[in-house]
Amino acid sequence: MEPNKISGIISIILGLLFIIFPVFSTAALSIIIGLSLVFFGIALIISGFSAVNIIIGILTIIVGLVFVFNISALSFIFGIQFYVIGILLILGGIVGLLSDSGVSKIASVLIIILGIISFALGGFSIDQPLFAVILIGVALIIEGIGLYLE
């Protein structure tokens, strides 16, 4: 079997697990990200004894521990990401509407609409930690289907 098809099947299975077991998936994902950051921070401190490495390493360890012990930190980060993307899309759409470049006005309006949707998703993600995990599950399923069909 081709590597793309195997990756697609694994992605679909993970996506379904994220949707079927959102609480477990949120906790597992938050802990995995947190532990990764803790180990990365330790590696930064050990790799070089410069002041910058030590400061960044300590900050990375602190953020990692927040992810390990506070599941909602993950949804907060996702929410902020959606807000930033939404703002950038809205601004990009407005620039497209106001500029005389070859950008279609319809495309600019659609970009603004996508920005508003992204902004709304940020609000949902911050309010409901499980919402972010369900979005990850849907994205994994879509990506898995795309990989499988390649």
More confident residue, 74 or 143: 143
Token digits of residue 68: 């390990």
The 10 Å CB-count burial string (b at 16+, else e) for 11-46 is bbebbeebbeebeebbbebbbebbeebbebbeebbe
126: confidence class by pLDDT, cuts 50, 70, 90? confident
Q: Please give the pLDDT value at position 28.
A: 86
Determine if the pTM surpasses 0.75. Answer: no
Q: How many degrees, rounded to 5, is the angle at CA 64 between CA 49 and CA 56? A: 30
What span, in angstroms and rounded, lies between the C-alpha atoms of 2 and 10?
13
More confident residue, 74 or 93: 93
The single-letter code of the amino acid at 145 is I
What residue has token string 């907060």? 76
Q: Please give the pLDDT value at position 72.
A: 76
